[in-house]
Structures are given as C-alpha cells and as structure tokens.
C-alpha cells in the first residue's frame, strides 16, 4: 500500500516532524536503502529489529524500511536507562540493532548485529 501511495503522490508530504517534512518519494528512498541492506543480511525475521535513535524523520524511514524488509521493529528510546534498553533488546530477541555510536555505552545488550548508522553508510 505504501508503494502505491508513492506512485500516486510522490511529492506529497508523507511525514512531518519538528518543522521538517519528507515527501513520499524521499521517505521511500530512505526506507528502500535500509530494506535492501537488511535483505542482504542473514537475520531472523521472526526476531525484532531494534531502532535506538532520537526521534526524527530518519527514525521514521528506518521503521518503514524495516517493515519493507519483512521485520518487526522495536522502538528503543535512547533516553531510557541502559538496564531498560538491555531488557527490551533481550526480551524482543532483537537480531539487529540500528543505532548511532553515541549510544554505544547505553546499548551493552547482546544481539545478533549492531549497525551504527553513521559508520555503515546507511545515513
């Protein structure tokens, strides 16, 4: 359904946050970048993909991309205490954790793969 909306109204605003907006075309581009990356990896789609980022338009693109790749995402607020984040990652059995290196200390939880967005080229 999302792809159909992109085709119908590519320049329409898909999402707006903090005075910024993304068109359906741009949101789709960002989502596809992550979707292709995840599909190229060996990850268990039955497990969640943790997304630990500050609220932003980029976070929305990551959530949509994860869904396009066939996974369920687990939103992780980097403001949570490290113990809470660790519990959430372990409870969701996250096989991939998308984050930024500035949250590395708060995310000591074990998961299949940690992907630091600014290092991986997924930005």
Beta-carbon contacts of residue 26 (< 8 Å; ≥ 6 apart): 14
Q: Which two tokens stand for residue 87?
A: 């519990």
Distance, in Å, from the CA atom of 109 to the CA atom of 83, rounded to the nearest integer, reads 9
Overall domain count for the chain: 1
Two tokens, residue 89: 């990652």
- For residue 48, the enclosing domain spans 2-120
Structure tokens at 8: 């119908």
Q: Would you say the pTM of this structure is higher than 0.85?
A: no
pLDDT digits (tens, 9 = 90+) for 62-104: 889 888 888 888 999 999 998 899 899 888 888 888 888 888 8
Higher pLDDT, 47 or 110: 47
Q: What are the pLDDT digits (tens) for 4-43?
A: 999 999 999 999 999 999 999 999 999 998 888 888 877 7
- Kindly report the CATH number assigned to the domain that includes residue 105: 3.40.50.980
């Amino acid at each position: 359904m999302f792809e159909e909306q992109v085709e119908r109204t590519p320049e329409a605003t898909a999402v707006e946050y903090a005075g910024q907006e993304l068109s359906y075309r741009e949101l789709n581009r960002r989502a596809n970048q992550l979707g292709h990356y995840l599909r190229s990896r060996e990850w268990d789609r039955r497990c969640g993909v943790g997304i630990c980022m500050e609220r932003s338009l980029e976070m929305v693109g990551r959530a949509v991309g994860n869904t396009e790749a066939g996974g369920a995402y687990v939103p992780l607020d980097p403001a949570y205490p490290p113990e809470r984040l660790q519990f959430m990652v372990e409870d969701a059995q996250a096989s991939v954790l998308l984050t930024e290196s500035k949250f590395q200390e708060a995310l000591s939880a074990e998961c299949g793969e940690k992907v630091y967005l600014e290092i991986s080229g997924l930005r």
